[in-house]
Amino acid sequence: METLIILLIGILVTVATYLILSRNIIRVILGTAVFSHAVHLLILTMGDLKRGSVPLLKEAEAPYTDALPQALILTAIVISFAVTAFILVLAFRAYQEAGSDDLHELRGTNDE
Amino acid sequence: MFSVNFAIILPFIIAAFVPFIYRRFRFIHIGWFVMLVPITLFILLARLIPSVASGQTFTDTYQWIPTLDINFTTYLDGLSMIFGLLITGVGSLVILYSIFYLSTKESLQHFYVYLLLFMGAMLGVVFSDNLMVLYVFWELTSVSSFLLIAFWNHRKGSRLGAQKAMLITVSGGVAMLVGFIMLHTMTGTFSIREIISSISGFTDHALFMPAMILVLLGAFTKSAQFPFHIWLPDAMEAPTPVSAYLHSATMVKAGIYLVARFTPVFGGDQVWFWTVSIVGMITLFWGSFNAVKQTDLKALLAYSTISQLGLIMSLLGLGSVALHIGYSTESVIYTQATFAALFHMINHSTFKGALFMVVGIVDHGLGTRDIRRLGGLMALMPFTFTVAVIGSLSMAGLPPFNGFLSKEMFFAATVQISNADVFSLQTFGIVFPIVAWVASIFTFIYCMIFIFKTFLGPAQPEKLDKPIHEAPMGMLISPLILAAFVVGIFFFPNLLGNYILRPAMSSIYPTFGDAFNLTPSISAWHGVKPELLMTIGVVLVGAILYKILKKWKPIYGLFSQKYTFNTLYNNVLSLSEKGSGVVTRGYMTGFLKDYIAYIFGFFIIVVGGFLFYSGAFSMDISTNAPIRLYEVILVAVMAIAAFAMLFAKSRMTATLLNGVLGYSIAIFFVIFRAPDLALTQLVVESVTTALFLLAFSHLPDWKKEKTTIKTKWINGIISIAMGVLVMLIGLSVLNYNKFETISSYFEDAYELAGGANIVNAILGDFRGFDTMLEVVVLFIAGLGVYTMIKLKSEKGGDKE
Amino acid sequence: MKINDVILRTITRIIVFIILTFGVYLFLSGHNTPGGGFIGGLVLASAIVLLYLTSDIESIRKSLPFDFKLVAALGVLLATGTGFGSILFGVPFMSQTFAYFELPIFGKTELTTVTIFEAGVVLAVVGVVVTIILSMSESEEA
């Protein structure tokens, strides 16, 4: 199972990297979203999969599955949501002000 | 009991309140309030003088970073007492003076905040026992000095002067920091007291010499010693109270303090002796020589300060011989140089402070400090003139002023050192009295220039913008008090010697036993000795040379302006600016794609390379959990969705595919026994998709990407390399079982945190700090979104 | 943003209250069962967003007269405040504590400072999410 998931993570990272390297700003943002999916899976996989029961002490029997990665991912999910929201708004405000969603065109002139 | 820590912290605390008080009581000059700080501290310190004089010291420790041996330890002994009194005493007078100097139209709240910052930092420098703490305060004095020099930041000269002072003193400070770290490496402690008591075992250590040189670099840059003196004249762009306070009485003396403080550490060494004395001597000569040609009164005083600092520095160097010889009845005589250094330092603060204030009065009242436009002020500015005469004559080393006493001791020390039989001084030692004498002649000349060109001779009211008039009484109080000290110290020097200087001597010569032997009785008349003859010579030759000044002044034209240290400084600065510009423009292309490529490329090369070379890769699928069919299907769905995103023609499709990925992951979270994650992921994915759709209504539809095949290939290779690398890392880490897992600790969540949901207990309790910061991040992102949308650039307004 | 769909609107009216209740339940039960501040907050926020999507903004604004930026700020203040609160009791920053009490109706109940902290998280999440969505949809109208 772990190997399979890691394979999936590899695919997700490849796709995400390719998207981030593109010129369209929405593709870049989507790339970051996919990237965070991959990372969440990776963190979870590092704590071993499907070993033990749900980490709820009263509801389930020991041994429990590793709860620490889950806590980390929960934080990561919320943060990545905040960041995605932020760059989305950044993107459309940049478009409104500069009239382009192409990162090459947004770069501006050479002399700075 | 008065805590020394309190003395350091008080200015910072008050500084925080200054802006509020300023806003509240605009009609009162804020300086009156600020002045209470140094006065309070001065009184508190002065009350300790008797105990310090009887050999008592005060320490106070507050644990800061104990693991790194960095603690906020303060130490009050004789040496720091002198500086503490100077900082608070002169500070009170300067603030009193500044109340009349700066009108309420200036941004006073800034000025006094900076001044208090400086005062606190300076007290921190002299009271810190821990070298790291000392360093922090040391740099803080540079920063506050920068802010004060650039106080009138609309003037270009102010900004450049501030930059120069900052660059030179801070780079010296960094060198000093390295020296401190070397000392720590040698002795294993950051405490100055412990270093002093243990250094004798390390004088042969390989780091001893580099540490000494680096510490000296810090001291020399701060105290404007040759060739680092160039920043001080430019720093005169600061308001005059600042020049009087920072650039003559206190901050530039931090270097002196450092040298005095480290004399017990490095003092017995020959290199220390020669470096400190020679650099001091050169500075003494070069400063006084250059002061003569200045036409700006403040520049004249700046060079004079450089020269006087050199004098004090060289005296400290000469005095360190005594430590080389060790304690004996003969070596005590050499400690008198150090005694003279401390004595002259106090005297210098009094007369130079007064002189700076005089220049400030002239500048403030008449609108110029150019001696070519001044003259004949005596009749109309009698008080100012009196202070100027007292200060100048003291500086020239004439009785009945305190400068005479210390100057005589200076001459005596140079004469004695030329007779010493260590360090081959019998051959070279004769240089010291000669240089001292010549430099003193120039000192005499510029003192005469200061008096005669400004206050005597014909008045030139036609060259002035304002009529000549005496300064307001308030402005005269401080210089008059200082002048009173100049005279008072001459008549009662031993009061100072016994109560203030003696304890300081025992800090510098801790191994010399009772400091009573080290304190000579100061007297104005001690028979016809070489030093008296030297003084008489200085006055005679100086008077003659002043008379024929016009004849020999062309000598200054011989020094080409092309090869000065200032030119060197400017060239280095502009070259490094250009160089960094070229380098930066080379890789900062402005394309996000390039930056991302750098990051990924670096990641691939470094991490991948390490993985490859260290042979860290390992793979073992035997411990894997079993796979069910529906899991395979889910993986396949996700893989297909991911690839489809690459080829999606419309943004809507791509977003929905991203949603597919998100919801599939939520299902995985369920499978992998993470109910909290599954719930959160479901909601977040919905909200995120909604956000994308909302944003699309503001953005244009996708166009076909105009990417070349070559770029596509490069991007593809980077992407695949990244994917493969992450996979390899994941597989390797999975089989890496070197450490015990820490997760079992959290399984006691019910007993430790009272929660049965371990994930929630980690978030809320064990790692509550993370969650708190996370909430803050979320909040900041929300505010960012809000402001970005609400803050639209005004129509027709220029975009910056 | 206004969707003129009677069915959607009617269903939303009912569903919103179910979602809101669910959100509060998630928040309160998070300590021992799945749930907690983040999820609770997100669910509450999505309920409010759903309301905005189906009804016109003005009428909602009348029934929910909060400035959601302030809600978020209050949440952050509460979350950091509990951290500093522990300092007042002489224990390290962010220390949480809990105890069991006998309450009239609930019987033996656990009260913990984590709940205050989590309440801060809920408020912050609700405030931020609603602020983001609202400002984005308002920007469209302008």
Task: Tell me how far apart the alpha carbons of residues B765 and B185 are, in angstroms, rounded to a whole number.
Answer: 40
- DSSP, collapsed to helix, strand or coil, labels residue B793 as coil
Please say whether the beta carbons of B324 and B311 come within 8 A: no
Task: For B538-598, give the DSSP string.
Answer: HHHHHHHHHHTHHHHGGGGGGS-GGGSHHHHHHHHHHHHHHHHHHHHHHH--S-HHHHHHH
**Within 13 Å, how many C-alpha atoms sit on residue B192's CB side?**
33
CA–CA min distance B20, chain C (Å): 24
Token pair of B654, please?
A: 């791509």
**How many contacts, defined by CB atoms under 8 Å, are there between A and B?**
261
What single DSSP character describes residue B370? B
Give the residue ranges of chain C where pLDDT is below 50: 1-2, 142
Please say whether the beta carbons of B117 and B145 come within 8 A: no
Task: For B734-748, give the DSSP string.
Answer: HT---S--SHHHHTT
Contact C128 B782 (CB under 8 A): yes
Task: Tell me how far apart the alpha carbons of residues B115 and A29 are, in angstroms, rounded to a whole number.
Answer: 48
Please say whether the beta carbons of B423 and B273 come within 8 A: yes
Residues of C in contact with B679 (CB under 8 A): 26, 34-35, 39
Could you give phi then psi for residue B521, rounded to 5 degrees?
-80, 125
- Using CA atoms, how far residue B303 sits from B291, B308, B361, B440, in Å, is 5, 9, 20, 13
C35 has a chain B CB within 8 A of its CB: yes
Contact C35 B676 (CB under 8 A): yes
Q: What is the pLDDT of residue B605?
A: 92
Task: Tell me how far apart the alpha carbons of residues A93 and A82 are, in angstroms, rounded to a whole number.
Answer: 17
Contact A78 C125 (CB under 8 A): yes
Give the residue ranges of chain B where pLDDT is below 50: 1, 795-800
Task: Tell me how far apart the alpha carbons of residues B791 and B789 are, in angstroms, rounded to a whole number.
Answer: 6
Task: Please name which of C90, A100, C129, C132 lies closest in space to residue B699, comparing C-alpha atoms.
Answer: A100
Residues 6+ apart with CB under 8 A from A68: A47, B742, B743, B746, B762
Cα-Cα end-to-end distance for chain B = 57
Residues of B in contact with A68 (CB under 8 A): 742-743, 746, 762
Residues of C in contact with B778 (CB under 8 A): 124-125, 128
Please say whether the beta carbons of C95 and C86 come within 8 A: yes
Contact A6 B646 (CB under 8 A): no
ipTM of the complex: 0.92
Task: For B158-198, give the DSSP string.
Answer: HHHHHHHHHHHHHHHHHHHHHHHHHHHHHHS--BHHHHHHH
- DSSP, collapsed to helix, strand or coil, labels residue C134 as helix
Q: Which residue of A has its CA nearest to B655?
A: A30
Instruction: State yes or no: cis peptide before B520, omega within 30 of 0.
Output: no
Contact B672 A65 (CB under 8 A): yes
Q: What is the pLDDT of residue C141?
A: 52
Query: Which residue in this structure is represented by tokens 């995400």?
Result: A16
CA–CA min distance C8, chain A (Å): 26
CA–CA min distance A59, chain C (Å): 8
Residues within 8 A of B (CB atoms), A 30-89 only:
30, 33-34, 37-38, 40-42, 44-59, 62, 64-68, 70-71, 73-75, 77-79, 81-86, 88-89
Question: Class assignment of domain A2-106?
Answer: mainly alpha
Distance of CA B261 to the CA centre of its chain: 18
Query: Which chains reach chain C with 3 or more Cβ–Cβ distances below 8 angstroms?
Result: A, B
Q: How many CB atoms lie within 10 A of CB B564?
A: 13
Contact B789 C131 (CB under 8 A): no
Contact C132 B691 (CB under 8 A): yes
Task: Tell me how far apart the alpha carbons of residues B406 and B87 are, in angstroms, rounded to a whole number.
Answer: 21
Q: Pick from C93, C121, C136: which is nearest to B789 by CB? A: C136
Q: What is the pLDDT of residue B640?
A: 92
Please say whether the beta carbons of A81 and B688 come within 8 A: yes
User: What count of residues does chain C have?
Assistant: 142
Residues of C in contact with A89 (CB under 8 A): 132, 136
Q: What is the pLDDT of residue B136?
A: 93
Q: What is the pLDDT of residue C131?
A: 86
Q: What is the pLDDT of residue B797?
A: 43
- DSSP, collapsed to helix, strand or coil, labels residue B526 as coil
- Using CA atoms, how far residue B690 sits from A20, A36, B83, B431, C7, in Å, is 21, 18, 66, 85, 20
Token pair of B682, please?
A: 């479901």
Name the residue ranges covered by the structural domains of chain A: 2-106
SS (H, E, C) chain A: CHHHHHHHHHHHHHHHHHHHCCCEHHHHHHHHHHHHHHHHHHHHHHCCCCCCECCECCCCCCCECCCHHHHHHHHHHHHHHHHHHHHHHHHHHHHHHHCCCEHHHHCCCCCC
Name the residue ranges covered by the structural domains of chain C: 6-141
Task: Tell me how far apart the alpha carbons of residues C73 and C131 are, in angstroms, rounded to a whole number.
Answer: 11
Residues 6+ apart with CB under 8 A from B180: B131, B132, B134, B135, B190, B211, B215
Residues within 8 A of A (CB atoms), C 16-35 only:
32-34
**How many contacts, defined by CB atoms under 8 Å, are there between A and C?**
14
Contact A82 C128 (CB under 8 A): yes
Query: Which residue in this structure is represented by tokens 């608070």?
Result: B88
Residues of C in contact with A58 (CB under 8 A): 32-33
A105 has a chain B CB within 8 A of its CB: no
